[in-house]
Amino acid sequence: MTRKKYTSKFKTKVVLEAIKEQSTVAELAQKYELAPQQINMWKREFLANAEGVFEKKGKSKKSQVEDERDQLLKVIGQLKVENDFLNDALR
């Protein structure tokens, strides 16, 4: 028997329905063909990480890419200087 993999979108949908408490966990488990323990585990995990949504993020993805680009350009410049130095030394 292979394990099913669920998308984060699906998990969020199920967890939000569980949090609303309009249906019991058993009803949701039957509706989505899941074990009630699975829904409870997703709910606990969701609630444990919920405060992270409102925390200030570190650097944005774009900023990280720009930093990496700048670092690579710096290395390229350093290697070019070393290459030029060694070429002049061989002459």
How do residues 45-79 score in pLDDT, each as one tens digit? Answer: 999 988 887 777 665 666 788 888 999 999 999 99
Distance between CA atoms of 42 and 77, rounded to whole angstroms?
A: 49
Q: The whole model's pTM is what?
A: 0.58
Q: What is the per-residue pLDDT for 65?
A: 84
Average pLDDT, the chain: 89
Q: What is the mean pLDDT of residues 21-42?
A: 95
d(CA 90, CA 18): 73
Per-residue confidence (pLDDT) for residue 91, from 0 to 100: 81
Domains in the chain: boundaries: 1-51, 59-91
Q: Which long-range contacts (CB under 8 A, 24 or more apart) does 49-53 make?
A: none
- Residue 32's nearest CA partner among 20, 21, 17 is 17
Question: What three-state secondary structure class fits 30?
Answer: helix
